[in-house]
Structure 1
Amino acid sequence: MSSKSNNFFKEIEYIDGVTIIDNKGIIQYSIKFNPNFYPEMIEKDIIGKKLDEVFTNINQKTSTLYSAINHKKIIQKKTQKITDITGCTIETMNVSIPIKANGEIIGAIELSKDITSQGEREKYIFEIDKAIFQHKFLPEYRLGSDRARYTLEDIISNDPKIEDIKNQITHLSDNKAPVFIYGETGTGKELFAHAVHNASERKDGPFVAQNCAAIPENLLESILFGSTKGSYTGAIDSPGLFELADGGSLFLDEINSMPIGLQAKMLRVLEEGYVRRLGDKKEKKVDVRIISASNEEPLKCIQSHKLRQDIYYRLCVLYFAIPPLRHRLNDIKPLMDFFITRYNRQLDRNITKVSKNVYDFFTSYHWPGNIRELDHFLQYGISKTHKDEEILEYHHIEQRITDIKAIEYEPSDYDQIELQPLKEAVENVERQLIQRAIQETGGNVSKASRILKMPRQTLQRKIDLYNP
């Protein structure tokens, strides 16, 4: 061992913990001698797990253990912040030594010393790393309206499921088949749609996006297929989105909200690649890759008659399911880093740390709005801070948490309904409606029948039955 290593050991003086991993990153052994060293973790519970699953803010590049294996040499680091799976963050001094057997590196052992001051341990859970995201997309980063803005590099994640999807998109870059993206609201489906286009051979072609839930059926049809002058009142010669996306990709968001009748009209375009404008007799050949997205699983959309089965077979050739944020809690930290950096710039703030109780709330909350909701939380919280504050505290987001809990626990109308036989419930409602109609019409059965939209004879029979 070199004199430099010996000096480093002298500087450490004592060891708070020992960790051993194999060359696949699986923890084989772990022990701590300091009770403050990851106080909520139990050694036996992390044996057999991957290092970067237990310590959520490190990866192949930043971990001294991984570095010792990859570089086949002793790695020394005087300061390294590590966040464990419970949300506890400490600062350590480490030396990691590769383990060799039969001439091959089979793992590494790390000796660690906790150098976190007690005050800092209680004060915040982590310090954000602005430098990581300075090159990432920010609100001011925009291209033309017919260009995809985001790439796979812009998808921020430490989650293996997301990384697997990104790898699949890369692997299928030369595939021209339609893509269907499923994910709950706020999971970033449009971001993935942009990335699919930019990872494909069509990246230099147009990328045209349309939310199918935002436009009425008659207007959506002309938007998709185009129109000719005189085809309807006020119509002009105008290309549709299929024509505009020729040579590129057409992203149809919330495809499950597209009217069934319009889905049928899309089949010819999907099957044969020909589109005809409204009111036109001629057809035009288009070369368009369809990327669809839905906040409901496609098979459930078929069962609920929101998606035609025949169009499903056309659209759902390549399928990606984006997991919700509550199933990828490892992504809370990097996403917080990104959003805090963004809103520091936008709002002229200087938040560099996040308190432990804020982080604990974020990692225990179920996130029905997913990443969009996390974005909202952080924008709200940072806007409540002052320019001289550096720590995002719980009181900065407390009102928003209170608002959410009020919505979650407010009894719904269904909670107010007393359970009873359905036949009796229907008769009670019917009796009340008939009584009110008779009262408001001064006993005129004919007028009451018109209000209730039922035959007069039927109403008279029910009046006799209920004796209102």
Structure 2
Amino acid sequence: MYETLINEIDVGIHVIDEFGKTVVYNDKMMEIESLSREDLINKDFLDVFRFEDEHDSTLLEALHHQKSTQNVKQTYFTKGGKEITTINRTFPITDETNVIGAIEVAKDVTKLEQLIRRNMEQKGNTRYTFDSIIGGSHAIQEVIEHTKRATRTPSSVLIVGETGTGKELFAQSIHNGSERTTGPFISQNCAAMPDTLIESILFGTSKGAFTGATEKIGLFEQAEGGTLLLDEINSLSPMLQAKLLRAIQEKSIRRIGDTIDRKVNVRIISTINEDPIEAIAENRLRKDLYYRLSVVSLFIPSLRERKEDIPLLVDSFIGKYNQLFRMEVKGVTQEVHTLFAEYDWPGNVRELEHIIEGAMNLIVDEEWIDVSHLSYNLKNKMQLIKHQAPVTFTKSKQDKDFPERASSICNLKDYLQEAEQYYIKKALEKHKYHKTNAANELGLSRQTLQYRIKRLDLE
């Protein structure tokens, strides 16, 4: 009855005695490890199995240190070299005074572990998901919600945002949340290479296309079945943008020097760090390419537009560098929090992370980051902010609400943004939020007005 019971249950059972020799080994464990009872019964445990470290064996830890474990994942190798991964429940067996053995109950997850590993290898360097995006503000949560919807289809996505806002983080999250998650994710910064080189990188080359040219596949072919991220798309020349447009429309590419069109199945995600309408107006972005790339448009808010997220980001970065630097910094002082709230953050989230990293490099044994740990340049900028005279606006003869020049010099960028916000809001109110009529009066296209409404948070 005892043998029937342990052989019928659908978990592996392995029992060793006080000397580390196997005394019980059921049918399920034989199936998991592809071994027979003759390979183990009365054999020393470590003669049959190999671990990176003896302490990695939950069974030996139970025997030698009376350590019980619950649902611990363990990877090890048999003497034949087979890799096994199990989830174990392990505990020592004792009589009234001594440990007389140990028992392990194991569930096989080898195939699942190998599948996960293959998927991670195929993802390449993608490490971000929606859980990686930090922020509870309405501005960022709204973008996250829109981004999640974009994972359901293979449509092209254009991500608009200032430098340092985390555009690639959103791109990787789309890839990892979509059906293409097991496919490759290939990223290319279009501003990092000259046009002559970027063309061959994107589309590949055929042998003999030019002196020294070899048969080489491009990024479109490498990303087959997955996602191709084109960063700073407005950096490409008009000629190359035209070739890119054709590739996206026809879903095929032609290597340089080749005569064959090759079909590709790739999702295109592109990013731009400026107003795309302005880029079109100034001939940095083709209008037809913009329409093709922006089937889904995402506008990532700057850090100054979501300052309520700064404490969460600070805690996250401190946790990250505590682990990397083996430190135990608890946080930032209230004075630093106040300075962070007043600062304009031209470099956005990336700048905040670099500031935290730099500050932690200056800490010796303190527990809190204070102003003395901040960089010299940042302290100078913050001193200017602190001592800057407040901006006051006088009433205009034309309109009592319009902000005129301040009596003292103020930040031009802030002044222009406030004036732009005022004019757009006034036009929208006049035309009862009919965007086409408002755009006509402002001398803008409806699309340009829509972008500015989103950027200035006027919806």
Deviation sequence 1:398-455 (CA, Å, 0-9, x none): 524245569999xxxxxxxxxxxxxxxxxxxxxxxxxxxxxxxxxxxxxxxxxxxxxx
1:249 aligned partner, one-letter code: T
Alignment partners' CA distance in 1, 2:382 and 2:332: 22
Corresponding residue for residue 274 of structure 2: 296
Q: 1:219 aligns with which of 185, 197, 200?
A: 197
Task: Between 337-346 and 250-259, report the one with greater CA deviation.
Answer: 337-346
Query: What does the per-residue CA deviation read over 1:205-236, in whole Å, with 9 as the maximum and x for residues that have no partner?
Result: 11110000000000000000000111112211
Moved over 3 A (4+): 142-147, 402-409
Q: Provide TM-score, normalisation by structure 2.
A: 0.56
| Amino acid corresponding to residue 374 of structure 2 in structure 1 | I
Residues 275 and 286 of structure 1 are in contact (CA less than 8 Å); yes or no, is this contact kept in structure 2? Answer: yes
Matches within 5 A, 1:20-419: 146-386=124-364, 388-397=365-374, 399-402=376-379, 404=381
Q: Which AA in structure 2 matches 1:350?
A: E
Give TM-score, length-normalised by structure 1: 0.55
* Residue deviations 1:257-307 (CA, integer Å, cap 9, x gap): 111110011121111101010011111000111100010121111011100
CA-CA distance at 1:147 after TM superposition: 5.0
Distance 1:238 1:261, change over 3 A: same
Q: Deviations over 1:86-116 (max 9, x none)?
A: xxxxxxxxxxxxxxxxxxxxxxxxxxxxxxx
Counterpart in the other structure of 1:66: none
Instruction: Report deviation, 1:161.
Output: 1.9
**In structure 2, how many angstroms separate the alpha carbons of the residues matched to 1:147 and 1:391?**
33
Q: Which amino acid aligns with 1:161?
A: A
Q: Deviations over 1:317-363 (max 9, x none)?
A: 10000000001011101110111111112223221031111000111
In structure 1, what is the equivalent of residue 7 of structure 2? none
**SS where residue 342 of structure 1 aligns?**
helix
Structure 2 Cα separation of the partners of residues 383 and 246 of structure 1:
42
Which AA in structure 1 matches 2:314?
A: M
Q: Quote the Cα distance in structure 1 between the aligned partners of 2:126 and 2:276.
A: 24
CA contact (8 A) 1:377 1:400 kept: no
Q: How many residues align?
A: 268
Q: State the distance in 2 between where 1:293 and 1:172 align.
A: 15
Query: By how many angstroms is 1:203 displaced?
Result: 1.2
CA, structure 1 residues 203+293, in 2 after alignment: closer, same or farther (shift >3 Å)? same
- 2:184–2:227: 8 Å Cα contact kept in structure 1? yes
Equivalent-residue separation in structure 1 for 2:315 and 2:240 (angstroms): 43
Instruction: Say what the alpha-carbon RMSD is for the aligned residues.
Output: 2.1
Unaligned runs of 5+ in 1: 1-141, 410-468
**Higher RCO (C-alpha under 8 Å, 6+ residues apart):** 1
Distance 1:282 1:155, change over 3 A: same
Contact 2:150–2:174, Cα closer than 8 Å, also in 1: no
Contact preservation (8 Å) 2:159, 2:297: yes
Letter in 2 for 1:311: L
SS for the counterpart of 2:183 is coil
Give deviations 1:6-59, integer Å, cap 9, x for gaps.
xxxxxxxxxxxxxxxxxxxxxxxxxxxxxxxxxxxxxxxxxxxxxxxxxxxxxx
Deviation at 1:167, TM superposition (A): 1.5
Give the drift of 1:152: 0.5
